[in-house]
Amino acid sequence: MGGNIATVVAFEVRRTLRTKAFWVAGLLVPILFALLFFVMQTTTSNATSGSGAGQAFGFEYVDESGLVDPAIAAAAGGAPITDPAQGLADVKAGTTQAFIHWPADVATQTTTVAGQDVGVMNSSKYSAMAIGVLQASAAGKVGDPALVRATTGNLDVSLTTYANGAPAGGLGAVIPPLVFLAALYLVLLTQGNRMLNSSLEEKENRVTEMILTTIRSSSLLAGKVISLIVVGIIQVLVTTLPVVAVGLIVRRGQVSGFWSTLEFNPQRMILGALLLLAGFLLFTGGCVAIGAAVPTVKDASSMFTVVVLVLLAPFFVLTLVMTNPGAPAVQVLSYFPFTAPVTGMIRNAFGSLSWGAGLAEVGISLVFAWLVFMLAVRLYQYGSIEYDKKINLGLALRR
């Protein structure tokens, strides 16, 4: 039996690794990551280069409040006028970049700003100029920098939170455990069709009877499940190693600062790995069972939608999972076998999953993974030669 399983595993893994689709799917994520990183770096560089003198613009203004310092406004590129209608007309005609109208009472009345359209992201500079010039003028009148910072809320605040008497890791402690959740989604969404087809291919090719004369159905399915696990591990490595390599290469400036904040909490990392393994086994067994119960790939693909919805279920109450893990809905999702892995990984990342609760979720998922696998074996035994119709689940279990 062991030799048969090893043969199935070797055959399935070797066949999968020889397909171009596997490598395309695996390398697509790091390629997209590299492109996104390049775009973000380019955008940040352009924004930085444009935030200096090149970002300055001329504008006309009317100050009915008497608060604006003409010297400060002039240094920012402003020119005073007396007619608000003229300022708006100049903007429409394109003779000035912007027009700012400060009303008599800036506390209760609206300051109006008009400007040449330079895109959704860049046009906010006009409002920022209106606020900045007014604040700078007010600061000059107050004469007390501390009072100005206190009233405007422009304060430097250092926050440190504690958990069990030690400083909490913050976002840097949340990100590493979330890698396991990302790996689960990556493998299931990229390898989902392969999981469904693993128990369907022989049925569609009408060779099931021939195969089952040389190998037990349980050994055949066990070999297929193990091969899916091996392929999934390779998929994760192919996807994540280039991303990690890029992160290590560009460790400078803000990137190195981000990496330095990551905290690899042993408990969270161990629980995350166990939940990933349990969840992967559970959903792999489920996909194999679906493939064993239906006659065609088309039927299996339609049922895979249910699997995807179950995977996404915890995200429908994501805020509740993060902020109130003791809520009844979160507890149901935490211990319902098919939502326990994802819910557990989210709670684990945010530090609300204890050792006991985490191991309980892992245990529940593993038990149901075994039950689902045994169900898949029974369905395969009964329906391996049912080429034209779906299996009657009740009849298959009774037999």
Q: Are residues 311 and 379 in the same domain?
A: yes
303 with 200, same domain: the answer is yes
CATH code of 141's domain: 3.40.190
Answer yes or no: is 297 within a domain: yes
Position 180 in a domain:
yes
Is the domain of 139 the same as that of 60? yes
What pLDDT does residue 9 have?
77
Question: Residue 68, CB half-sphere, CA atoms under 13 Å: how many?
Answer: 29
Threshold 0.85, pTM exceeds: no
Residues 220-273 have pLDDT tens digits of 777 777 887 888 788 777 777 766 665 556 554 444 455 566 777 888 889 988
Is 30 within a domain?
no
Query: What's the pLDDT at 22?
Result: 74
Q: Give the number of domains in the chain.
A: 2
**Same-domain status, 94 and 233:** no
Residues 112 and 235 reside in one and the same domain = no
Query: Is the same domain home to 179 and 92?
Result: no
Does residue 247 sit within a domain?
yes
User: Does one domain contain both 317 and 393?
Assistant: yes
364 within domain boundaries: yes
Q: Report yes or no on 371 lying in a domain.
A: yes
Question: Does 369 map to a domain?
Answer: yes
Owning domain of residue 118: 56-152
Identify the domain boundary among 152, 182, 210: 152
300/372 same-domain check: yes
Residues 347 and 301 in one domain: yes
Question: Which regions in the chain score pLDDT beneath 70?
Answer: 1-3, 25-26, 29-30, 33-34, 36-55, 120, 148, 151-155, 158-170, 198-214, 217-218, 242-261, 295-300, 381-399
My answer on whether 134 and 213 are in the same domain is: no
Considering the domain architecture, whether residues 142 and 238 belong to the same structural domain is answered as no
Residue 182, exposed/middle/buried by CB under 10 A (0-12, 13-18, 19+)? middle
Residue 127 lies in a domain: yes
Two tokens, residue 343:
């819910």
Note whether 140 and 175 are same-domain residues: no
